[in-house]
Amino acid sequence: MAEYTLKTPLSEEDVRKLKVGDKVTLEGVVFGIRDANLIRMFDGKVPSPVDLTGAACIHTAPNVRKVGEGKYEPVCIGTTTSSRMDRFTPGLMGQYGVRAVIGKAGMMEASMEAMKRYGGCYLAIVGGAAAWETERILEIEGVWWEDLMPEAIWKFQTKNFGPLIVAMDSHGGNLYFDVKAEAASMLPEIFRRIGAE
Amino acid sequence: MSKIPVSDSFYQAVEELSKDLYVKALKDLPPDVRVVLKDTYEKEETETGRQVLATMLDNIDIADSRNRLICQDTGIPIYFVKVGNQLSVDFVRLEEAVVKGCQRATVEHPLRSSVVSPFKRQNNQNSSGYRIPSINYDVVQDNDKVEILMVPKGSGSENMSFLKMLIPAEGVRGVKRFILETIAQNVGANPCPPYVVGIGIGGTADMCMKLAKIAAVTRPIGARNPDPEMAAFEEEMYNAINDLGIGPMGLGGLKTALAVNVEHAYTHITQNPVAINIQCWPARRAKATISFDGKFEVGY
């Protein structure tokens, strides 16, 4: 299992070399996206107000302090459950050129297919560890769609953002599916032991 | 017996504490949760599991030393309010004080307001709205205090709630199978494992889910159901769930459940309900006990 430090924006080559289990630390910009802004972008068909080519996007809605018109300071930035956003990954990668999704708990078939086809990856961060994550964010550089607050689109400048674990790669690997299959295979034996066959 | 009247300073204390407990719960993890996470880290054998757990412990340290929130999800604010039966309390004023404290925490800290109206998704930016915060009242016998337990309930875990109205013919076997199949197939990595699994057994459908919630979020880690039959069931489910190998953040490893807590009630002759509610690894809670004159103690 390899370890990489990658500078954003990411290239297809950056992402194609990653395999499930590798560790990645990002340097540079990470965009914050999630439910409400993705629903507007894809169901509402309102184009993204910001160029996401090569972007690393994290599933988040932060706690912030407003310090001026369109200016915010981080209070607490952490990561939400990714599975709700599964159906948006093909559009993010195919239409907008996003290369990495950072999240927790993984995504499913639609995202796996998009990662294979366009060259993308899923980088697992530790959910709930928002104090740790906030320490790695230098500043909030931009915000779009403030009417969706806190589910605006955010641009974070980061340093030493990781280590993140490559949990889904562009070769069809999905660590969560492996763990889930293993858990399912344990069930018959567990049922036998506790008298629930 | 005449009841003890409460003073204006009592209601002021309720408001201040409803504010302070929300922020405290978001920043200061209870000692029992810290201990079990450290123990889980020390016993973990997989490299990925150890890395994930080390980050969780690191996160707790950073939250302490930098006065930061542990998790960005400020949750749906839930207040469990226990009122001693010896007090004469105006419940309308009590509720106004809790709601105001909750709103002030959000605006004054500031915190992310994580609650919206269900259809229009309108956010009042103060963590409150129709019927929210969730306030749950209980009356306690032979008691002259008000206890407020505050729980910010994160969505990663709350979205993984399940109820099954099993039938009597499915028995305890059906209950066990439902719990394990649901954890293995539906819950899995989503609510930030290692988590607390709250299980409700019996009652009506709504009561069963409420029991699961109480089991998941109010009990310190390590406290067992006082009924030996239910305590044995907790132990059996704890071992079985941890044999699934879902592990820290669902990336594989030894510990999936920090605890399995069961709350139960009698049910109908035709019913056999079971409910699951999960609390994520930052099992956040903060508590205060308030006297009639507004004096108080704060804990977990």
CATH assignment of the domain containing B166: 3.30.1330
Question: What is the separation, in whole angstroms, between the first and last Cα of chain A?
Answer: 39
Q: What is the mean pLDDT of residues B137-160?
A: 97
Residues B262 and B113 in one domain: no
B130 & B198 share domain: no
Q: What is the pTM of this model?
A: 0.96
Instruction: Quickly list H helices, chain B.
Output: 8-27, 31-43, 47-66, 91-108, 155-158, 171-182, 205-217, 228-242
Closest approach of B64 to chain A, Cα-based (Å): 9
Q: Based on the fold, state whether residues B113 and B86 are members of the same structural domain.
A: yes
Prediction ipTM score: 0.95
pLDDT at B26: 98
Q: Which residues of B touch A140 (CB under 8 A)?
A: none
Please, which residues 191-230 of chain B have a Cβ atom closer than 8 Å to chain A?
191-192
B140 and B17 in a common domain: yes
Other beta carbons less than 10 A from residue B34's beta carbon = 15
Count up the domains in chain B and report the number: 2
Residue B294 sits in the same domain as residue B260: no
Residue B139 and residue B84 in one domain: yes
Minimum-distance CB partner of B69 among A80, A130, A184: A130
| Average pLDDT of the segment spanning A45-60 | 98
Decide if B47 is inside a domain: no
Residue B278 sits at φ, ψ, to 5 deg, of -115, 145
Residue B80's identity, in one-letter code, is F
Say if B184 is an interface residue toward chain A (CB within 8 Å): yes
**Is B45 part of a structural domain of the chain?**
no
Q: What is d(CA A60, CA A101) in angstroms, rounded to the nearest whole number?
A: 11
Q: Is residue B182 situated within a structural domain?
A: yes
Average pLDDT over residues B109-114: 97
B22 and B94 housed in the same domain: yes
| Domains located in chain A, CATH noted | 3-193 (3.20.130.10)
Domain that holds residue B289: 4-27+70-154+284-299
Kindly state whether residue B161 falls inside one of the protein's structural domains. yes
Is residue B113 included in any domain, yes or no? yes
Q: Mind telling me how many Å the CA of A175 is from chain B's nearest CA? A: 7
- CB–CB contact A135 B62 (8 Å): yes
Distance from C-alpha of A161 to C-alpha of A138, rounded to nearest angstrom: 10
Mean pLDDT value of segment B14-35: 98
User: Which pLDDT belongs to residue B1?
Assistant: 67
Q: What is the mean pLDDT of residues B233-257?
A: 98
Residues B191 and B290 in one domain: no
Collapsing DSSP to helix, strand or coil, B18 comes out as helix
Verify whether the Cβ–Cβ distance B245 to A179 is below 8 Å.
Answer: yes
Closest CA relative to residue B284, chosen from B230, B216, B222: B216
Report the pLDDT value the prediction gives residue A1, as an integer from 0 to 100. 87
Summarize pLDDT for B205-242 with one digit per residue, the tens: 999 999 999 999 999 999 999 999 999 999 999 999 99
Mean pLDDT (chain A) is 97
pLDDT digit string, tens, across residues A121-132: 999 999 999 999
Does residue B74 form part of some domain? yes
Angle between helices B171-182 and B228-242 (to 10 degrees): 40
Task: Please indicate, yes or no, if residue B12 is contained in any of the structural domains.
Answer: yes
Q: Are B115 and B258 within one domain?
A: no
Can you tell me the distance from the alpha carbon of B240 to that of B200, in angstroms, rounded to the nearest whole number? 17
Q: Do B189 and A105 touch (CB under 8 A)?
A: yes
pLDDT of the residue at B2: 86
Is there a single domain that holds both residue B181 and residue B261?
yes
In a domain, B56, yes or no: no
Tell me: do B274 and B165 sit in the same domain: yes
Considering the domain architecture, whether residues B145 and B16 belong to the same structural domain is answered as: yes
CB-based contact, A30 to chain B, within 8 Å? no
CA pair distance B215, B201, nearest whole angstrom: 10
If pLDDT is split at 50, 70 and 90, which confidence band does B158 have? very high
